[in-house]
Chain A
Amino acid sequence: MKRRSFLRSEAGHGLLMLSPTALYATIVMAAPLVAVFVFSFMTPGYLKVVWTFTLNNYAKVFSSPIYTALLGRSLMTSGVVTAVTVLTAFPIAYFISFYVSPARKSLWLFLITIPFWTSYLIRVFLWKVILGYNGVINSAFLGLGIIHEPMTFLLYNMNSVVITLAHSYAPFAILPIFVALEKIDRSLLEAGQDLGESRFMTFIRVTLPLAMSGVVASVLIVFIPTAGDYVTPTLVGGANGQMIANVIQLQYFKLGDYPMGSAVSITAMAVVTAMALVFVFLNRRFLRGPK
């Protein structure tokens, strides 16, 4: 009878209601992630796994220059992308929250989210078309006589990867900052100015600290997925813009080496998670709720 009363309690109802979704996420995501973790300690065999424990895969990840270099470049690239995206996003979020009239805020947010929902592949490909040797920028500048031969530094390097990813993740960066700014009690800002602070100092000492929770959220939501992005480095990265996802894809698809692919995936995830946690820890004083 005890079990029945649990199912009728509020906690029981809630858990029961959540169970289909939680179960699905467990079976389709959590269990496979555990499997990848286990595989990463197994011996490689073509398109299958030999069930003997080994640390060789990880030894290879850390000793071979390809993996460490690609991992380093991935982290570098997504670090730069995150900085560019969040810094350019902040003024937009600030503008919408503080200068746009309340009735038009939804419209602005809608305008910003539309490009995000239109075909990701085609958007990335268009950057290739825009930045390419015979591309839109080069042909337009040549036509106008601004340059005399096409610029080659635009495409197939880290620049193009950064531009494309910053473009793709813009709404992800804007929305959390906007939400944090919206929550700020406007009378605090008036109080700051009444007490003799300039507008700029009020921003630095009142607005910015209160908006930091949104900034931290947008840093994480841009940094973590971009570190593992596959499409952008493949299409616009060229040989020098390849990232860790490319080598993961290579291990699984071309080489059929599941344990090695798993070891690279686990290492990449662990490093990215560790960096994210360090970042959160450094900003911990902004993340405590209001006292």
Chain B
Amino acid sequence: MRGRGFQIYAICYLIFLYAPIALLPIFAFNNSTVISFPLSGFTTQWFSQLWTDTSLLLAVKHSLIVAVSVSILATCFGVFAARATTRYAFPMKQGLMGMIMLPLVLPDIIIAVSLLVVLMQMGASLSILTVILGHTLIATPFTIAILNSAFQSLDKSLEEAAIDLGETPASTFRLIILPLVMPGIISSLLIAFSISLDEYIIAAFLSGTEATLPVYIFAQFRFPNKVPVIMALGTILVCLSIALLTIAEYFRRRGIAKAGGKDTGGFL
């Protein structure tokens, strides 16, 4: 059979990709503070310990506030940019888009330190607000990538028809365009949410005393006896993000199908 070698290689590759995640639940339910084989017994105590940790719950609260704000802000910026690039031709388009997409390749630590020095120089105090600033910046290119494909598959004649039938540009956007790109918007909200929820380095530099979840997790790595609790927390986070991504993927595909386009693949 053709491609048998490739198939075996692909399966090995998937095992490599999933190996770390597969270990999470194994050790999250293992009754030992040492993370090694052989396993010593089943327990749910690491999960119940999570609910009693007040600094963890506070970090979750901060992370949720940040992630929700970021998903809304980044998606709004994404809608503007995706609409502008797919619908209009204008001068400096490539240069401006290049700048907006730059955070995709710029190391996060550079974004973090540059924002930090400017904020310190302005005398601003660090809080989850400053984290929202940074996270919105890095999430926007991803939302643009998703929304671009949603806007690209729009048929321009639908808009023209609406205008001819007496709708204003604003009502055309609300009645015609928005419903068609809605799946793309939902998928962009979810992706921006997961990016923000997961981001560590910018949050570490800009959160001040208001630690987000990744900042809390990083601090716990110093304590070896906390490892199983982190495994339990990780298990929950992984399940959560797989659920979010599956929903996002569902909406992305539905959006493409709705606009009559062809599926060209993943999120990036």
Q: Give A residues with C-beta under 8 Å from B.
A: 10-15, 17-22, 24-26, 28-33, 35-36, 39, 47-49, 88, 91-92, 94-96, 98-99, 105-106, 108-115, 117-123, 125-127, 129-130, 132, 134-136, 138-140, 143, 167, 170-172, 175, 178-179, 182, 220-221, 224-225, 227-231, 235, 245, 248-249, 252-253, 258, 261-262, 265, 269
List the B side residues contacting A11 at CB < 8 Å.
Answer: 88-91
Say if the beta carbon of B266 comes within 8 Å of chain A.
yes
Q: Which 6 A-B pairs give the minimum distances between C-beta atoms? A: A228-B107, A14-B88, A14-B90, A139-B36, A32-B114, A126-B20
Question: In the complex the two chains form, is A110's CB within 8 Å of B107's CB?
Answer: no
Q: How long is the Cα–Cα vector from A88 to B35 in the complex, in angstroms?
A: 29
Say if the beta carbon of B57 comes within 8 Å of chain A.
no
User: Quick one: which of B120, B201, B237 contacts A122, CB cutoff 8 A?
Assistant: B237
Question: Which residues of chain B (76-97) have a CB below 8 Å from chain A?
Answer: 76-78, 80-81, 83-85, 87-93, 96-97
Question: Could you name 8 residue pairs across A and B whose Cβ atoms are closer than 8 Å?
Answer: A21-B81, A21-B140, A96-B10, A109-B265, A120-B214, A122-B237, A129-B27, A175-B268
Question: In the complex the two chains form, is B100's CB within 8 Å of A178's CB?
Answer: no
Q: List 7 additional contacts besides A25-B137, A99-B7, A170-B13; criterion CB under 8 Å.
A: A17-B83, A18-B93, A24-B77, A119-B217, A122-B234, A123-B20, A136-B36
> Which among A130, A140, A175, A231 has the highest number of chain B CB atoms within 10 Å?
A231
Say if the beta carbon of B242 comes within 8 Å of chain A.
yes
Question: In the complex the two chains form, is A179's CB within 8 Å of B265's CB?
Answer: yes
Q: How long is the Cα–Cα vector from A179 to B90 in the complex, in angstroms?
A: 27
Given the known interface contacts A91-B6, A134-B34, the answer about A24 and B137 at a Cβ–Cβ threshold of 8 Å is yes
Contact with A along B102-119 (1 / 0, CB 8 A): 111111111101111110
Q: How long is the Cα–Cα vector from A108 to B214 in the complex, in angstroms?
A: 29
> Which among B76, B110, B134, B217 has the highest number of chain A CB atoms within 10 Å?
B110
Q: How long is the Cα–Cα vector from A94 to B2 in the complex, in angstroms?
A: 13
Q: How long is the Cα–Cα vector from A24 to B102 in the complex, in angstroms?
A: 13
Q: How long is the Cα–Cα vector from A186 to B137 in the complex, in angstroms?
A: 39
Question: In the complex the two chains form, is A28's CB within 8 Å of B133's CB?
Answer: yes
Tell me, rounded to whole Å, the shortest Cβ–Cβ distance linking A92 to chain B.
Answer: 5
Given the known interface contacts A10-B88, A31-B118, the answer about A119 and B266 at a Cβ–Cβ threshold of 8 Å is no
User: Quick one: which of A120, A170, A220, A221 contacts B200, CB cutoff 8 A?
Assistant: A120
Tell me, rounded to whole Å, the shortest Cβ–Cβ distance linking A173 to chain B.
Answer: 11
List the B side residues contacting A230 at CB < 8 Å.
Answer: 108-109, 201
Question: In the complex the two chains form, is B102's CB within 8 Å of A121's CB?
Answer: no
Question: In the complex the two chains form, is A21's CB within 8 Å of B80's CB?
Answer: yes
Q: How long is the Cα–Cα vector from A284 to B249 in the complex, in angstroms?
A: 35
List the B side residues contacting A138 at CB < 8 Å.
Answer: 36
Question: In the complex the two chains form, is A119's CB within 8 Å of B113's CB?
Answer: no
Question: In the complex the two chains form, is B121's CB within 8 Å of A224's CB?
Answer: no
List the A side residues contacting B144 at CB < 8 Å.
Answer: 21
Question: In the complex the two chains form, is B113's CB within 8 Å of A25's CB?
Answer: no
Question: In the complex the two chains form, is A95's CB within 8 Å of B9's CB?
Answer: yes
Say if the beta carbon of B42 comes within 8 Å of chain A.
no
Question: In the complex the two chains form, is A178's CB within 8 Å of B37's CB?
Answer: no
Q: How long is the Cα–Cα vector from A28 to B34 in the complex, in angstroms?
A: 43
Given the known interface contacts A28-B115, A92-B9, A95-B6, the answer about A22 and B266 at a Cβ–Cβ threshold of 8 Å is no
Question: In the complex the two chains form, is B20's CB within 8 Å of A265's CB?
Answer: no
List the A side residues contacting B121 at CB < 8 Å.
Answer: 35, 48-49
Contact with A along B197-232 (1 / 0, CB 8 A): 011110001000000001001100100000100100
Q: How long is the Cα–Cα vector from A182 to B93 in the complex, in angstroms?
A: 26
Question: In the complex the two chains form, is B109's CB within 8 Å of A248's CB?
Answer: yes
Question: In the complex the two chains form, is A221's CB within 8 Å of B105's CB?
Answer: yes
List the B side residues contacting A31 at CB < 8 Å.
Answer: 118
User: Quick one: which of A39, A119, A129, A224 contacts B105, CB cutoff 8 A?
Assistant: A224
